[in-house]
Structure 1
């Protein structure tokens, strides 16, 4: 009985030992699997973090290139270069930036290659910009040179115009002086001016002293000869007579044909006007003036004018 129980207890102990061994083995396997899964999870988490970091760096590089590209576009445009190619590149770059943010499974290596291509293009554009700056510098120098030449030409032209204007002005002055000389040269000249007294009966009296009695003088006759002048046109000429009394007043009466004329820029009164046909054969002119009242005593001066010139003078005395 005791032996039987002993054997039964021994058999039970073996079963429990075997079961424990199996459970221990299973636990070991499960622990190993759990450990392996944890390592795999940690590895994936690490890879995701690295990928996220790499994508962030890639996007940052693309963004930096985008800003640099904007600066290049502005420079090329300012220098007058063609920006069409750079604008297309800008569109492509913005699309790449958006793709990096949108898709987490993109290839970082692929975009690293693109970044190098973008950087190479920017480097090339630096060379193009340097070339444009040099060309613009040359154009600026040429423009400055042309501007200086234009200034010189304008100055020369202004000097030429001024010289021409001065020459024309001098020529006009000379012509005016010549015209004045010709005009002066063509002026009439009264010779042998004599004054005769005419009484109421029409009888003329004259003497070498040209002295007459006032009560016997109703009219005066001024006689003279027009000297020949080849520069003077043979045509009718208006002769103006001025009779100045002893007090310096001009005898004037519109009813007897008096009026006003211009002489040397001043308006002057004349006593009497008569039209005379001028010729070169020394015509004799007689101008008869009727005052209509007695002459007061004193010396009277006679002045003769024609075509803006004083052509002769004389005098007479009333006693």
Structure 2
């Protein structure tokens, strides 16, 4: 009888132990399930924070390139990164709070999409305006270029028309007793030559003092040259030329006459000589004379 009672008691104890142990196992499993569930929720929230941080970084770059304001967005991104660093150490009870922040950040991203669209629209309008301005500027530049070409053409014509024009050019051999031999003379009869120049009136000529260079070419092609009588050289069309005589002449739109004399220091060469009158940029005229 005692054995039966003992067996009964032990059976009850074992049953109670089994029930208690089963309950503990159940509670442990439920706790683990809850922990895993909350960990999954935490991971989801963390991943959302990470994705939002990346997207916000992209939008900051886009807004910056479009010329928008990004200072406040940079501060928000820094706060998100701080949230991520502190995230793992937070209690599970803060999930709802974090999820609320995540929703707020999502709304911020949507707002930035709207800002980006506005900035893109503004930039497109500016691009169209700039394109129109470029067309106008190109048209204006073309017009200015054409005006400058016309101006240059007119200036060339004016420069040409304002050149010194000869009305007459004569060469005389002068004897010691003052007798003149026009354009042809014997060497033994003359001791100098005289060049008479008549310049035409020119209303559009620039008023200035201009150098006139006289080159007397001998029959052998050499230049009549004597430094003691003022001979020298000048630059014409990028090359050096020698001249026989140089004179400064006041060009004042009016016609004028001048005479230039050259005393010989040696016999003139027999044959045709050529007198050429230059400025530093063009030939005024030329004339031949004969020495017999």
Contact 1:196–1:222 (CA under 8 A) maintained in structure 2: no
**Partners of 1:242 and 1:175 in 2: CA distance:** 29
1:241 aligned residue: 214
Aligned residues: 278
5+ residue gaps, structure 1: 1-20, 101-110
Contact between 2:197 and 2:258, CA under 8 Å: does it hold in 1? yes
1:270 corresponds to 2:243: yes
Does 2:8 correspond to 1:28?
Answer: yes
**Deviation of the 1:31 alpha carbon:** 3.4
Residue pairs, 1:76-225, within 5 angstroms: 76-80=56-60, 82-83=76-77, 90=84, 93-96=87-90, 99=91, 122=102, 126=106, 128-182=108-162, 184=163, 187=164, 189=166, 191=168, 193-198=170-175, 202-207=176-181, 210-225=183-198
Tell me the alpha carbon deviations over residues 123-155 of structure 1, each in whole angstroms, 9 at most, x when there is no partner.
665555345334423433432342343244234
Q: CA deviation at 1:279?
A: 8.2
**Deviations for 1:264-319, whole angstroms, at most 9, x for unmatched residues?**
55433222234567889976533322222222322223334457554454433222
What SS class does the counterpart of residue 50 from structure 2 fall into? Answer: helix
Q: State the distance in 2 between where 1:280 and 1:42 align.
A: 129
Contact between 1:193 and 1:312, CA under 8 Å: does it hold in 2? no
The more displaced of 227-236 and 131-140 is 227-236
2:23 is matched with which residue?
A: 43
Q: CA RMSD in A?
A: 3.9
Looking at structure 1, the residues matched to 213 and 85 of structure 2 have their Cα atoms a distance apart, in angstroms, of 99
Q: Which residue of 2 aligns with 1:291?
A: 264
- Matching residue of 2:223: 250
